[in-house]
Amino acid sequence: MLNRNMGEKEIQILAIESSCDETAAAVVKNGREVLSNVISSQIALHTLYGGVVPEIASRKHIEKINQVIEEALEEAGTTLQQIDAIAVTYGPGLVGALLVGVSAAKALSFATGKPLVGVHHIEGHISANFIENKELEPPFVCLVVSGGHSHLVVVKDYGEYEIIGRTRDDAAGEAFDKVARAIGLGYPGGPKIDKLSKEGNPEAIHFPRAKVEENMYDFSFSGLKSAVLNYLNSCEMKGETVNTADVAASFQKAVIDVLVEHSLHAVKEYGLDKFAIAGGVASNSSLREAFEKECQSKGIKFYYPSPILCTDNAAMIGTAGYYEYLKGTRHGFDLNAVPNLKLGER
Ligand code: KG4
Ligand code: ZN
């Protein structure tokens, strides 16, 4: 494990996350102990519009940010004076949303003189695995699947990543959300498809499993989404009733098959024996079961965070921020929101 070059001193990180529709703050001790994890979700608000409205997200973040930070400090039983550093997500994400967290973190850093550590949102999602799995250490392969990302990453060391696969079109969560909307389930679709699938037959309809010629680890979900839409249209034209549970289960199975195949192939090819999942879609119950089963049969140790740590939260940013802090990462007051920040970029 990365050595804490600071003797036995405890390191407390105040972390802030506001990249999309969650205003969140947390206090994390020594990287893996969550003292508080406060999340103010805007989901109910955006549900009215069928998806995240960026302008509304920014405004809500401004309303909530100070309150969420205060709550996180209070719940942790600590104060700004006792905090060692302030970590904040500065990308990728919605620029207006990110700016709220970044500005709050810069203001706190300026006022207290505590160091500022900018964190990559995906690095946060990956690091969520360190919180409940104290023994987990790099190297391992991590599949990050959320509303905005589908990345297959080799975590070589703390803060050292190689992205070996990514989606060419829709993110996995985006595909769940779009298919859910098409079968009338509403937003956010992932959890609803997860639930409805339990009543359906995953073998009822064969939807395509896309392969990307140029890179065996890349994903493509737009063809699958179109196949579902075509299936729904053709049922309508023929006057057939659609069994939405079968559609949900068959679609979900098609996504999972591809994710499992690509991920476990990567673990083998890179000579590793540990695999982790992260991001909102990583809460999917069938996805977890499929990985659990396949990893067990292949002798791979499988790691996954609790659902509350899969969704956007600040505890994961605190953990990633801690390892960045130990490595000496410090940002100045010129830190800006970077909506398309690349993983591993400083
Ligand atoms: O990580 P996250 O909270 O936010 C982003 O960074 O995007 O991920 C949200 C995504 C949404 O697309 C949501 O539908 C999906 O994760 N999701 C799920 C489940 N829970 C959330 N997808 C499938 N099954 C679930 N149980
Ligand atoms: Zn996320």
pLDDT, one tens digit per residue, over 100-112 is 999 999 999 999 9
* Cβ(179)–Cβ(232) below 8 Å: no
Interval between CA 177 and ligand 1 midpoint (Å): 8
pLDDT of 52 reads: 82
Q: How far apart are CA 252 and CA 197, in angstroms?
A: 8
Is the pLDDT reported for residue 6 higher than 70?
A: no
Joined tokens for residue 41: 């979700």
Q: How far apart are CA 268 and CA 314, in angstroms?
A: 32
Is the pLDDT reported for residue 1 higher than 60?
A: no
Is the pLDDT reported for residue 344 higher than 80?
A: no
**306-331 b/e with 16+ CB inside 10 Å = b?**
eeebbbbbbbbbbbbbbbbbbeebeb
pLDDT, one tens digit per residue, over 134-183 is 999 999 999 999 988 899 999 999 999 999 999 999 999 999 999 999 99
Is the pLDDT reported for residue 3 higher than 60?
A: no
Q: Is 146 in the pocket of ligand 1 (CB under 6 A)?
A: yes
Q: How far apart are CA 13 and CA 30, in angstroms?
A: 8
Name the residue among 30, 144, 13 with its Cα closest to residue 89.
13
Is the pLDDT reported for residue 43 higher than 90?
A: no
pLDDT of 7 reads: 54
pLDDT, one tens digit per residue, over 71-87 is 999 999 999 999 999 99
Ligand 1 atom closest to the Cα of residue 283 is 26
- Angle, helices 172-182 vs 244-269, to 10°: value is 170
pLDDT of 2 reads: 58
Interval between CA 101 and ligand 2 midpoint (Å): 14
pLDDT of 44 reads: 80
Interval between CA 182 and ligand 2 midpoint (Å): 23
- Percent of the chain topping pLDDT 70: 97
DSSP, res 221: -
Residue 268 CB neighbour total at 10 angstroms: 13
pLDDT, one tens digit per residue, over 239-297 is 999 999 999 999 999 999 999 999 999 999 999 999 999 999 999 999 999 999 999 99
Q: What are phi and psi of 151, to 5 degrees?
A: -125, 140
Question: Mean per-residue pLDDT for 201-205?
Answer: 98
Task: Give ∠ CA 223-242-201 in degrees, rounded to 5.
Answer: 75
Q: Which ligand is nearest to the CA of 281?
A: 1
Residue 239 CB neighbour total at 10 angstroms: 6
6-128+310-327 has which CATH code? 3.30.420.40
Fill in the amino acid letter for 32: R
Confidence of residue 57 (pLDDT cuts 50, 70, 90): confident
pLDDT of 236 reads: 95
Is the pLDDT reported for residue 227 higher than 60?
A: yes
Q: How far apart are CA 4 and CA 10, in angstroms?
A: 9
Class of domain 137-305: alpha beta
Contacts of 249 (CB under 8 A, 6+ apart): 196, 197, 198, 199, 200, 201, 202, 204
**Start-end ranges of CATH 3.30.420.40 in the chain?**
6-128+310-327, 137-305
pLDDT of 4 reads: 52
pLDDT, one tens digit per residue, over 289-322 is 999 999 999 999 999 999 999 999 999 999 999 9
Question: Mean per-residue pLDDT for 116-141?
Answer: 97
pLDDT of 211 reads: 85
Is the pLDDT reported for residue 5 higher than 80?
A: no
Residue 40 CB neighbour total at 10 angstroms: 18
Q: What are phi and psi of 153, to 5 degrees?
A: -125, 135
Q: How far apart are CA 136 and CA 130, in angstroms?
A: 6
pLDDT of 106 reads: 98
pLDDT of 346 reads: 63
**Residue 253 CA: distances (Å) to CA of 51, 69, 182, 344:** 24, 39, 17, 32
Mutate to test the pocket of ligand 1, among 47, 119, 146 (most ligand atoms within 8 A of CB): 146
pTM summary value: 0.94
Mutate to test the pocket of ligand 1, among 281, 308, 313 (most ligand atoms within 8 A of CB): 281
pLDDT of 8 reads: 67
E strands present in the chain = 12-17, 22-29, 33-41, 85-91, 116-120, 140-145, 150-157, 160-166, 274-278, 301-303
